[in-house]
Chain A
Amino acid sequence: MTDITKTDVLIVGAGPVGLFAVFELGLFDMKCHLIDILDRPGGQCAELYPEKPIYDIPGWPSISAQGLVDKLLEQIAPFKPDFTYNRMVSSLEKLEDGSFRVTTDENEVFEAKVVVIAAGGGSFQPKRPPIPGIEPYEGKSVFYSVRRMEDFRGHDLVIVGGGDSALDWTLNLQPVARSVTLVHRRPEFRAAPDSVNKMYAMQEMKQLDFQVGQVTGLTGADGQLSSAVIKGPDGDVEVPCTRMLPFFGLTMKLGPIAEWGLNLHENLIPVDTEKFQTSVPGIFAVGDINWYPGKLKLILSGFHEVALMAQAAKRIISPGERIVFQYTTSSTSLQKKLGVVD
């Protein structure tokens, strides 16, 4: 029997809105567990534009996206939320007692009375590279991440990309693979200069090959690659290739949420504007992933949504209990929860 992690509220997505939900729920003594597909909190703010300033957060004339995430983490720290990173929520089912069972893509099981979907534009997934006819090879000889280095032993490996993932795996798999060809469309790299220098040094020693160009074709059969065609400045080159690792960044996909029976509206989850509840009572959707008339995809709108959602969540978790509306400026009990008074 798999261990089941129990919590009051399970939050899918640890972007700014998911993080602030912990605060509003925490004020009502609800314990939160967040699951995110990235390896750290912050969602798009951390992944897409950490250094970009945001100008429409009330009270902050300008704050970097990562700065906002850091401040939110500081703000929710008193509520000690739990985080599970690098996981996608794959299924969600309603149990007989009205609570929900949530399973991740690594088969961890969570149970919560309330589920809050704060999944933004969906889950970040590796972007399929612009190589025609790549689909039949995916998962068989084309991989988007390295789970075990041994899987590449003795193979003719082609790595495509110019960022840190591409360069790091070029260096790390070179001793394991039979041959390594790195393909990037230009001789400048986004990766750390130190890795790039190491790669060039290994190329000098003929330990690997670096080709400037774009992969335009693949040959092979039954999902097994045999070669790749690289279109470079001097025309096409065919290189032996039995394993390929393309690193073309991440894109957002709605993913399994589409299967949860939430009556999607153009890939968004319709909610009411009183509780931000979905068509399934007990499941809420907040932030960029929800839809209602007049919806604006703004972080500040998400913050408003979680405040109202928390009231409704409290009624589910503590039925019959009177909910007292209080201000953090004057309520001693809220201040105790925040750890600012004894």
Chain B
Amino acid sequence: MNLATLLSADLPYWAQSLLRVLGGLVAVLLPAGTIVYLFLFKMMSFMQSRLGPMEAGPQGSMQLFAEVGKWLQKEDIYPARADKFIFKLAPLIVLASTFLLVVVVPFGPDALFTNFETGVFYSLAVSSVSVLGILIAGWSSANKYSLLGGLRAAGQLIAYELPMVLAVVGVVIQAGTMNLQQIVVAQNAGSMFGFSSLGNPYVITQFVGFIVFMIAVQAELTQTPFDMPIAESELVSGYMTEYSGFRFLIFFIGEFATAGVFSMIASILFLGGWAVPFSWFGWTTIDSIDNWMNIVGPLILFTKMIVVVFFIMWIRFSYPRFREDQLQKFAWKVLIPVSLANIMVTAILKVAF
């Protein structure tokens, strides 16, 4: 049976909503857990010639549950002079932005939360909401290091949001749509010079856009070459300094879940998303896709996400941090002109062919 008919016809509204909420939780928490274990624990340890956590479970695979249990047991403390309500609200805004982001990600031909016509635009808009949470987290902590971290984060996230938006415009021009599902279809139903067995993944035609997008994602996630906001040698831990227990856990989940969701969006925009090239199975349109893609599609997307996160983490563990002025110069004087040039070239080629 088709998943769409199952979800729309046979279940009452509350059951559909419950399924969607559960699906959203899985789509946010599963990538976050995988990324933390696979990359933060094991890959980082490998690159530093150590074993990493080994005690909890085989190869330390249960370490995450131990960590979460530890964080949940901690006392919920806040600084005496903090703005309590806003201090408690801030991590929730950051996590809410992640959940809003996952809503438009398509996982299969019918396995999606919403088929939003302007999905690309929406995802870029709601990802900018997290800046607000980070900024007020820094301010409400009543700590100068937190405030400095929050201000640095805001400056950096705004600066790198622009190249991110501009890098995506190239993809939107080439696909002719802002619907993420149709961008996936356009890549896998397409062909390069009549050669269709690879589809037309935009990572090839939009290579410049892909590089700019990935650099901007690295900065949006405040991963290491761009970790000025939480620079531990200068600012203790930036806007997160005063957070402990489960509020820190929310920031932590938010960071890695957002890494997962951004990587999913990157794989959808540039690597063909959940689908395989349609010519492999003789599909032509989205309606002719076999139903088993609803099960395999999420796995394909998950694999692509892991590959993208691998590169993000590889860079994170390899490079030292940018200075604040280098960071701003790089965004405004290199990435934005490059992505604007990319838009112009893409538009000219689109009209020419």
B partners with A = no
| Chain A residues with a Cβ under 8 A of chain B | none
| Chain B residues with a Cβ under 8 A of chain A | none
